[in-house]
Amino acid sequence: MASVTRVLVANRGEIALRVMRSCREMGIPTVAVYAEVDARTPHAYFADERVALQAASPRQGYLDIGQLVNIARTHGADAVHPGYGFLSENAAFAEACGQAGLTFIGPSAGSIRAMGDKVEARRRMTQAGVPVVPGSAELGDEHAALTEAERIGYPVLVKAAAGGGGIGMRVARDRNELPSAFEACRRAAQASFASPNVYLERYLAHPRHVEMQVLADSHGTTLALGERECSIQRRHQKLLEETPAVGLNPSMRAAMASAAVKAAAAVDYENAGTIEFIVSGDDFYFLEMNTRLQVEHPVTESVLGIDLVREQIRVARGERIPAAGYGHPRGHAIEFRINAEDPLRNFMPAPRRVQRYAPPTGPGVRVDSGIRPHQDVSPHFDSLLLKLVVFAADRAAAIGRGRRALAEMVLTGPKTTVPFHRAILDEPDFIAGKISTGFIDEHPALFERTRQFASEPSPLEPLFGGGEVAAAIAAGIVLTSEA
């Protein structure tokens, strides 16, 4: 059995705090790391020990493998949880942890590499019998791209081979658009993933983005834990997720679950991961695998009544997961990503100081947050501030609960996506489940309703003026004189 008795959480913000909470419930001490700009954030105070990162820039410290491994060893940690983002899907980090005698709470470096190379992942999925969108191998030049696009058929997507998350993705609707899309994707791929390699996939009109949570142990058990609908996106990145997916019939759900298990088994996967599919009509195709815990994991936890971080730690220790699964999902859950972005300015990041902050509460409401009042939102990191998750008996009730919770939210200072989410929940097509990855572009009236909601403050806002003691109480932590 691998040792997990003290965990370094190699991340920041809400996901670091989320991991620390599960560890605390399991009686496992944690070590937090923080950049200078994060010195007074909740995650840095919640852990049993906090260590400042030394780096030339705020992001660089969280990406410094040698420094993170050294902190873990010198501060008594025997395990590392990477969260999501940063080094969570970095095979070299997983290897470095293993070489230092640390338990990496995630998949093996081999599995990460196999799924991190998107072209190699497509090849393995095809061999495993998992349906894959028609596409190409890696492309070295524009001429090869033009030839492959003719074979695949326009429109095509140009995608980075070394990364995911929609970063760098471009659509070429005809031969004239392909050269510029090809070069733009190559530049973005080089900047984001240090690799200019790209490939093509057939572009599917009005698709849905549906993913399947998987969990696998070292004893041969791999489970599909249900799907999540992730079609509400801006710039190919998710804004809202829910489970179960709307209108997914039982036979497709079962086929998708079977394909997800095959996909994970094809790379000898262990721990939590997510198989992402693109759904077009009655067909679905493998998109990519996220070899880590997903941002949207709380909706799966809500309908199954489990703690996925706890299960990650159990798997990392070498324990068995139940071969019969965790029971049948119940009810409906929706997650709203509350980002420091201005929806009325094309979701431009709005990193400003948080003034008043009081998250909603009440039945069926969960908030995973990494902020406090009077905290400066750094422009150096992703714009996600918190995740609001609602759970109810069915989708209609969950939508109603989401409306109530969003209206109750007190969060002033930065512009946020709160009013945009309120607009979505009032959109008849969303209520009817008529959604696709192009939903936002196809519903321009959302922005006028967003403008209206943005002018309506929470009825509770006057009650929360802030203050650091109140901030500590709201975050569930205690600020000490060290601050």
Return the pLDDT at 404.
98
Query: 7-105 maps to which CATH number?
Result: 3.40.50.20
- Going edge to edge, which strands form the sheet with 79-81? 49-52, 30-34, 7-9, 79-81, 103-104
Would you state the pLDDT for residue 445? 97
Q: What is the mean pLDDT of residues 170-186?
A: 96
- The pLDDT value given to residue 470: 47
**Domain range summary for the chain, segments of one domain joined by +:** 7-105, 134-202, 208-461
Q: Residue 473 above 90 pLDDT? A: no
Catalytic annotation on 292?
yes
Whether the per-residue pLDDT at 128 is higher than 80: the answer is yes
pLDDT band at 464 (very low <50, low <70, confident <90, very high): confident
pLDDT at 239 over 50: yes
Q: 351, exposed or middle or buried, with CB in 10 Å at 0-12, 13-18, 19+?
A: middle
Q: pLDDT per residue over 349-396, tens digit each? A: 999 999 999 999 999 999 999 999 999 999 999 999 999 999 999 999
Pairing status of strand 271-280 against strand 208-216: antiparallel
Report the pLDDT value the prediction gives residue 366, as an integer from 0 to 100.
Answer: 98
Q: Which candidate in 234, 292, 337, 356 is catalytic?
A: 292
Distance CA 158, CA 137 (A): 12
The pLDDT score that the predictor gives to residue 15 is 98
| Amino acid 299: pLDDT | 98
pLDDT in tens, 251-306: 999 999 999 999 999 999 999 999 999 999 889 999 999 999 999 999 999 999 99
Q: Which residues of 131-161 are buried (b: 16+ CB within 10 A; e: fewer)?
A: ebbebbebbeeeeebeebbeebeebbbbbbb
Predicted confidence (pLDDT) at residue 476 exceeds the cutoff of 70: no
pLDDT at residue 419, rounded to an integer: 98
User: What pLDDT score was predicted for residue 465?
Assistant: 63
> In the prediction, which pLDDT does 345 show?
96
DSSP annotation of 198 reads E
Tens digits of residue pLDDT in 35-83: 999 999 999 999 999 999 999 999 999 999 999 999 999 999 999 999 9
Confidence of residue 165 (pLDDT cuts 50, 70, 90): low
Domain 208-461 has CATH 3.40.50.300: no
* Nearest-5° Cα angle at 241, 235 to 247: 110
Residue range 134-202 in CATH 3.30.1490.20: yes
Residues in the chain: 483
Q: What is the pLDDT of residue 163?
A: 74
pLDDT at 466 over 70: no
Would you say the CATH fold of 208-461 matches that of 7-105? no
| pLDDT value for 481 | 35
Instruction: Report the mean per-residue pLDDT for the chain.
Output: 94
Which 8-state DSSP code applies to residue 362?
S
